[in-house]
Amino acid sequence: MRYVLEGSIRRADNRIRISAQLIDGTTGAHCWAERYDRKLNDAFAIQDELARTIAAILAAHVNRAEARHAFSKPPSNWQAHDYYLQAAELYASFLSTYVAEQLYEARALLEKSLSVDPHYARAYALLSNTYVIAYIQPTDSDYINPMALERAYQLALRGIQLDPNLPLAHAKLGIALTFKGQLEGAITAFEQALALNPNFTDWRFALPLVLSGQFTRAIEVAQTHMRLDPFYPPNVPHMSGFAHYMLKQYSVTLTLEQACLSRSPNHRAAHCVLAASYAQLGRIDEALSEASEVIRIEPTYTINPTQKRVSVFKYQDHADHFFSGLRKAGLPD
């Protein structure tokens, strides 16, 4: 047995304490442990809540442990899933560093995965995401290239065709549709992923919600992801910060975007939102400083067309609110 989940329940008056821990069955090492204290008002509601919470957390820990295990295997034993897990680990690292070589290496591993198993839907789904990120990040000629976005869309569709019940594939379709400007279709794709597995979580769902004006729901999605995934990428506080900016809660935005940048200093979008927030607060020197960071990361950055190509708002007044903040910060049109 590869992994073992064990736990205990203790009761005192109208309160219960539930302890859980995940153990590597081959080594006996503890992978994760947590304690939950609850009032005993509705035992069934508590059971449902903790089952959902623990299931999502365990998925994150097991995926991370399996990725590390895949790296330790000799090459002769690598299979399609091992290549996929290695690619997922590299892709997660890329979201903090934005070092292009990590993205290319992740893509190469996914292509190896598909060479082993051409019908592996997960590999198609993540490969789709590598083209989405290349579309929105200035790594190479795929940047703001409609062909890269179309490639991402087709790969996600292929993943769904191979495994219609795979939430990951629907989520990757959702993010491709987001940048195509098909926000309703994107939201539907993410909702389908959740319908297939209520324990599934993907922070990217927050983006089409922000762009379509559902700011509070976007914040809830980001907060849920942070609660359920202990290894959440720095993009998650950024996405929450973006939603708070749109609600004109600029001080909250500052804290969230700074949390993102503390882990990912080259996160261009976080610098943009931070610059706009400082500008809206009248803190112009700090806004100019953040704007200079945007130009450092991307010397050819402009609001129109660069930012407008990746921020496809549903409503013009929402677009005006964001873009005016960028202009106040001194970013070029």
Domain-ending residue, one of 200, 227, 243: 200
Same domain, 266 and 302: yes
Classified as helix, coil or strand, 298 is: coil
Q: Give the bridge partners for 7, in sequence order.
A: 20
Q: Give the bridge partners for 4, in sequence order.
A: 23
Same domain, 95 and 210: no
- Kindly list the strands in the beta sheet with 3-12, ordered across the sheet, starting from the edge strand earlier in the chain: 3-12, 15-24, 30-39
Tally of structural domains, the chain:
3
Same domain, 289 and 176: no
CA dist., res. 203 & res. 207, Å (int): 8
What is the structure's pLDDT at 14?
72
CA dist., res. 129 & res. 132, Å (int): 5
Same domain, 26 and 111: no
CA dist., res. 31 & res. 5, Å (int): 10
CA dist., res. 269 & res. 277, Å (int): 12
Are 310 and 280 in contact by the 8 Å Cβ rule? The answer is no
Q: Give the bridge partners for 35, in sequence order.
A: 19
What pTM did the predictor assign? 0.78
Classified as helix, coil or strand, 104 is: helix
Are 18 and 36 in contact by the 8 Å Cβ rule? The answer is yes
Please report, for residues 263, 270, 278, the alpha-carbon distance to residue 124 in angstroms, rounded to integers and kept in the order given. 28, 28, 40
Give backbone dihedrals phi and psi of 43, rounded to 5 degrees, phi first. Answer: -60, -40
What is the structure's pLDDT at 282?
98
Tokens of 129: 């995401």
CA dist., res. 176 & res. 183, Å (int): 10
Same domain, 210 and 196: no
Task: Return the CATH number at 299.
Answer: 1.25.40.10
Same domain, 103 and 145: yes
Nearest to 178 by CA among 242, 131, 226, 132: 132
Same domain, 141 and 260: no
Are 176 and 128 in contact by the 8 Å Cβ rule? The answer is yes
Are 82 and 118 in contact by the 8 Å Cβ rule? The answer is no
Same domain, 194 and 85: yes
Q: How many CB atoms lie within 10 A of CB 102?
A: 18
Buried b (16+ CB within 10 A) or exposed e, 205-233: bbbbbbbbebbebbbebbebbeebbeebb
What is the structure's pLDDT at 40?
67
Classified as helix, coil or strand, 270 is: helix
Classified as helix, coil or strand, 141 is: coil
Same domain, 166 and 276: no
What is the structure's pLDDT at 38?
75
Q: Angle formed by the axes of helices 268-280 and 316-328, to 10°?
A: 90
Same domain, 45 and 65: yes
What is the structure's pLDDT at 70?
45
Same domain, 213 and 329: yes
Range of the domain at 252: 205-333
Please report, for residues 5, 198, 218, 222, the alpha-carbon distance to residue 227 in angstroms, rounded to integers and kept in the order given. 19, 14, 14, 9
Classified as helix, coil or strand, 128 is: helix
What is the structure's pLDDT at 27?
57
Nearest to 261 by CA among 285, 233, 298, 295: 233
Fill in the DSSP letter of residue 282: T
Which DSSP string do the residues of 213-266 spell out, in sequence order?
Answer: T-HHHHHHHHHHHHHH-TT--THHHHHHHHHHHHTT-HHHHHHHHHHHHHH-TT
Same domain, 117 and 167: yes
pLDDT tens by residue, the chain, 333 residues: 556 667 777 767 777 777 777 666 555 555 666 666 777 676 666 666 666 766 666 666 555 555 544 443 433 336 888 999 999 999 999 989 999 999 999 999 999 999 999 999 999 999 999 999 999 998 889 999 999 999 999 999 999 999 999 999 999 999 999 999 999 999 999 999 999 988 888 999 999 999 999 999 999 999 999 988 888 999 999 999 999 999 999 999 999 999 999 999 999 999 999 999 999 999 999 999 999 999 999 999 999 988 999 999 999 999 999 999 999 999 999
Domain-ending residue, one of 74, 100, 125: 74
